[in-house]
């Protein structure tokens, strides 16, 4: 029996590792669409909005490329990868830990217990990684202008972090947390 549990545990660890890898590949592949989505969601056409007025999906892609180049689609990709790695690690670690604490048996566990363990793991992962997602969103909304043209991604990220911390305070890192 002990041998069977050890083999099952090793199998589960490999499946989790592969799931994490696939998740990061997916995040990398679809990050450009994520930045387009963020721009479209933030585009309200108001004069005080620093974004151009986008007139749809293809217009957003066209204007982002025309005004900022290909970098606009990949801005924040490393922050996205960090967020994915962190969120998946924390969630699956907590999920496995909670299952062990409750002596969870898949065949006999009540549905409420499964939901509770998943929700608790999700809330912990969200609480730990929300600052990463907030910075990623800010990076996606960042426009290259005369002041930041030519700066590398690290400099822009550092500038956003510094601005958030000094000008907006700690709470700015948890904007959007209730919705998450």
pLDDT score recorded for residue 34: 92
Note whether 157 and 139 are within 8 A (CB): yes
CA–CA dist 85, 90 (Å, integer): 8
Q: Which of 53, 76, 56, 72 is nearest to 64 (CA)?
A: 72
pLDDT score recorded for residue 151: 59
Domains detected in the chain: 2-174 (1.50.40.10)
Question: Could you tell me the pTM of the whole model?
Answer: 0.74
pLDDT score recorded for residue 3: 53
Q: In which residue are the tokens 């996606």 written?
A: 140
pLDDT score recorded for residue 119: 96
- Residues of the chain scoring pLDDT < 50: 2, 7, 149-150
Q: What is the dihedral of CA 10, 105, 94, 138, to 10 degrees?
A: 100
Token duo for residue 170:
């700690």
pLDDT score recorded for residue 46: 67
Contacts of 89 (CB under 8 A, 6+ apart): 20
């Amino acid at each position: 029996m002990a041998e069977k549990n050890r083999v099952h545990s090793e199998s589960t660890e490999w499946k989790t590792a592969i799931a994490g890898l696939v998740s990061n590949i997916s995040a990398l592949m679809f990050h450009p669409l994520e930045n387009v989505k963020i721009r479209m969601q933030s585009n309200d056409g108001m004069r005080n909005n620093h974004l151009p007025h986008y007139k749809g999906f293809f217009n957003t892609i066209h204007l982002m490329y025309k005004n900022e180049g290909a970098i606009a689609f990949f801005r924040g990709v490393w922050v996205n990868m960090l967020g994915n790695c962190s969120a998946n690690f924390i969630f699956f670690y907590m999920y496995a830990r909670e299952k062990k604490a409750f002596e969870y048996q898949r065949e006999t566990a009540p549905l409420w217990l499964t939901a509770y363990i998943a929700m608790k793991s999700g809330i912990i992962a969200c609480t730990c990684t929300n600052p990463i997602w907030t910075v990623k969103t800010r990076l996606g909304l960042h426009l290259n202008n005369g002041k930041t043209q030519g700066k590398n991604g690290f400099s822009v990220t550092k500038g956003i972090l510094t601005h958030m911390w000094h000008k907006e305070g700690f709470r700015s890192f948890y904007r959007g947390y209730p919705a998450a």
